A and B are shown apart, each in its own frame.
Chain A
Amino acid sequence: MTDAAVYRETTAQPRTQSVPLAHVSLELGHLYMEDFEGGADRLAEHFARVRPWADAVHAMAAVEARRPRVSTCFLIDDYFTRFSTPAELVPMVLAQAEKAGLTIDYLARESACAVADGTAVAEAVESRLVDSPAPGSDGSRPPARETGWLANGERAPGLETALEAMAHVAPWQPPRETGARRHSVFLDVELWDEKDGRRTWSCPFLAAVWQLARLGLLRHLGEPVLSPRSWPEAPFPRDWDDLPPVIQLNPAAAPFAAYRTWSALPTRFLPIEHAVRVLLDQIEADPQAMRQAADRAAGEGLPLPDEIPERISYVFYPGT
């Protein structure tokens, strides 16, 4: 059809805004209170260990694209424990990174992965979980969902099932990983817990939201969320709540979001990141945002896997 529609209603055709995309988003670290308690030395040691891997990621990006766009980011936990202040902490982090020859382009607060500028980001992402169906799922029943949990397969039958079967002694039935290669590695991930009516999102769940943000796949009513705001230099606020969700420290940085992500983390994060992959495998990202990234990558002649977990990579360095 060549003739465009004469009559249009904007509420009938919502638009999804696109975000600028780098080739790679490289996470230089993830700071928790225990790291902070280790003082500046511990941070210096962390960045010194990350440096060679950061160089390797830059080199790899240069193999794929002639003029690679790599942006770096750093995440500070202000969600599970509140410690220090941006005014004190941010300059210290930046100074230690610089000593190791690293530039932090963007700095984010972990609590922004739960709620950013009044938008309940984590809750929206939870509503986008589509459980991987066990073989035999024909749509006739809703997926067997344990509220607040997500697994990578079928759970072992519980007590109720055993009672239903009228078995006096129920033989143990193993859980099963869907898509296992012969043997299962079954994982059940806690998404959140609640105490006194207050929900606390789990670390893997927020880390999954963080990955989606870095992949440029989060939208709220078509608008990008966790968009960086420019904050190039001190002074930084005295309260974490006064710091925007993501700040851009380097005015010359490549875009925050990217086709792919790399994260350099100590080995102790391996179980968390396994859980992140199980979650990302079962999240339906905004289809328009997915399409925008795919079209842009195709336009640049770059391969981009359809599967979200395939877009994220790690370096696990020794350490706790």
Chain B
Amino acid sequence: MTAWGRAADPVLICGEVRTGLLQHSESLPARAVADLLRLRPDERVRISERPNGYAVSPEVLTGVDCRLPAAGGARTRVVGTVAARAVVTEGRMLQATASIVVAGPGPDVRHPWSHYLARPGVVEPLGKLPERAVADGLLAGRARPGELDLGAVAERLLARVARHRALDQRAPFKSRRTRLRWVALRALDGEGPSLDSFTLAEDGLRTVELRLPARVSPAAAAALCEDLALHDWLLTTLVRMVERSRLGSADAPEAVLSLRPAVDHLLHLWMPTAHVDRTLAPLWDVLEREPGFTRQWQTLVQRIRDQLALQAITLRRDALTAH
């Protein structure tokens, strides 16, 4: 049995990740995070402390019986469950992922529901499945009514966690959520994983296309995409904060002060592949070469630190001249 193989003959995995700041005035301690992510009373929250604080909720399922969006208008009905999980990084970032494994062609009739519950996170097509068209359909645009809406499942889970009473709803700064939609087709036999595209679309949507060998578990694929989404969010948010601060303009002290939340809450979060399966970690290198995620991040961080240093010197000089 393969890792994709909670399904009989899986042909693709896809999902959608919502990423945002935890709406709380300070970073949430590990115990509170565990409480926040306890979506089920009988299952543990998985918690890591190294190399950074990282917690994953149990998976919760949503039943679906609908069409998959497909380029070219093919209509494929699928039945099964969407698996959703929430992840908190460093008690500061909240992500919710909804994902499915799509099994190969199946019989034309729906099974008893317990059949699908024995394959959590798998949907089975009724009849044929045009994989390429479905992959394109999933990546393109928004779902029409009656077509699988993974984003809505992720959004509901995010909202459920975000309402938790442990959160004071006072985020230290304003930021926007991002959405990352990903599709992974099976890699050809003998070939390793690959990242075929990473696209920044408008209104906060990112799309990622992957090829993954059958041995990669859906959870590992989700963790990779959560990692991509997290770092993309950090970069996007820091770029916006620096822009808004008008760093380097006349009113330098104001600008530097406005960046304080970034220093307090964001700069230490950059840690690509901290919780990514090692066989998938090399996919990051592709993004490091082009466009160079870490290069851009470091440049921004350096710029903020230079400005802080300059400010410190100015303040010191002003203090001396005041004597």
Contact = CB atoms under 8 A, between A and B. Distances in A.
Given A284-B61, A307-B118, A138 B143 contact: yes
A103 interface: no
A14 B46 contact: yes
Interface string B53-66: 01000000111111
Given A124-B40, A140-B149, A219-B42, A132 B48 contact: no
Contacts of B113: 132, 178-179, 281-282
Contacts of A81: none
B70 to A, nearest CB: 14
A52 interface: no
* Interface SS majority for chain B: mixed
A1 to B, nearest CB: 7
Nearest to B109: A179
A137 B66 contact: yes
Interface residues of B, number: 43
Nearest to A223: B42
A265 B61 CA distance: 34
Contact of B47 (A11, A137, A178): A11
Interface centre among A7, A124, A132 (most CB of B within 10 A): A132
Interface stretch (B150-158, B230-238, B242-250, B304-312): B150-158
Contact of B62 (A12, A13, A135, A139): A139
B82 A139 contact: yes
A138 B112 contact: no
Given A12-B48, A13-B46, A139 B153 contact: yes
B190 interface: no
Contacts of B40: 124, 127-128
Contacts of A287: 120
Given A1-B279, A128-B40, A135 B65 contact: yes
Contacts, number: 121
B44 A7 contact: no
A290 B81 contact: no
B247 to A, nearest CB: 39
B146 interface: yes
Interface string A117-158: 000100110011011111111111111000000000000000
Contacts of A133: 63-65, 79
Contact of B41 (A7, A123, A135, A136): A123
B63 A137 contact: yes
Nearest to A11: B47
A290 B118 CA distance: 8
A164 interface: no
Contacts of A271: none
A81 B289 CA distance: 71
B73 interface: no
A222 B148 CA distance: 32
Contacts of A128: 40, 42
Contacts of A306: 114-115, 118-119
B317 interface: no
Contacts of B48: 9, 11-12
B66 A139 contact: yes
Nearest to A135: B65
A305 to B, nearest CB: 9
Contacts of B62: 130, 139, 142-143
A282 B46 CA distance: 25
Nearest to B41: A124
A29 B216 CA distance: 47
A258 interface: no
Contacts of A283: 117
A255 interface: no
A139 B114 contact: no
Contacts of A135: 65-66, 110
Contacts of B118: 290, 306-308
Interface centre among A13, A123, A139, A308 (most CB of B within 10 A): A139
Interface of A: 1, 7, 9, 11-14, 120, 123-124, 127-128, 130-143, 178-179, 219-222, 280-287, 290, 306-310
Given A134-B65, A307-B114, 8 more contacts: A128-B40, A130-B63, A133-B63, A133-B79, A220-B42, A283-B117, A290-B118, A309-B112
25 contacts: A7-B50, A9-B48, A12-B47, A14-B46, A124-B40, A128-B42, A130-B63, A132-B63, A132-B113, A135-B65, A138-B64, A138-B66, A138-B149, A139-B64, A143-B62, A179-B112, A221-B44, A280-B114, A281-B112, A281-B114, A283-B117, A284-B120, A286-B42, A306-B118, A307-B118
Q: Which 3 A-B pairs have the closest CB atoms?
A: A133-B63, A124-B42, A306-B118
